[in-house]
Amino acid sequence: MKLYLVQHADAVPKGTHPKRPLSEKGLADAVKMAAFLFEADILVDEVAHSGKVRAEETANVLSKTVWLGKAAVEMEGIGPNDGTDHLLHSAETAGGDLMVVGHMPFMAKMAARCLTGSEGGLSVAFEPGAVVCLERTEDRWVLNWMQRPSLLKNV
């Protein structure tokens, strides 16, 4: 099974809009990432987000290509400062590929937890809109690949 960890795309500053929806750059980056995932034939069994507007908007752009057009669902316990136990348990018992769109520092802690067993075990170079693909082998998680919007050409 695969776990795709996605940092939400670029959002407007809190002073501009208190709910922080995606900026124009964020929306463009999410569309670029969706095109990349489509070209790579990535399909998942579920797309979840934290419930914050910027994560939901990013998740819905991506889910159009990776979850056959279904709308992403809200998941508890993946807020910026939440612990990783809930998602780790959900990922290991999901029975299929899962994409989760959330926030820093949670995404970095989750990647570290999967790869090292500790939330502080290593750093992954997330940027807004980045996708990290982790794969569960028989007894451990491995880093399969990572893609950042800044490495993609404009669509």
Q: 22-51: per-residue pLDDT in tens?
A: 999 999 999 999 999 999 999 999 999 999
Within 24-151, residue ranges assigned H as helices are: 24-39, 53-66, 85-93, 106-116
Average pLDDT over residues 37-66: 97
Specify the CATH number for the domain of residue 113: 3.40.50.1240
Determine the 3-state secondary structure of 27 from DSSP.
helix
- For 86, the domain range is 2-151
Pairing status of strand 131-136 against strand 98-102: unpaired
The alpha carbon dihedral of 121, 108, 76, 16 has a sign of positive
List the one residue out of 104, 8, 131, 134 whose CA is nearest residue 59.
8
List the one residue out of 91, 107, 121 whose CA is nearest residue 55.
107
Determine the 3-state secondary structure of 77 from DSSP.
coil
The alpha carbon dihedral of 68, 28, 100, 114 has a sign of positive
pLDDT tens-place string over residues 113-151: 999 999 988 889 999 999 999 999 888 999 999 999 999
**How many domains is the chain partitioned into structurally?**
1
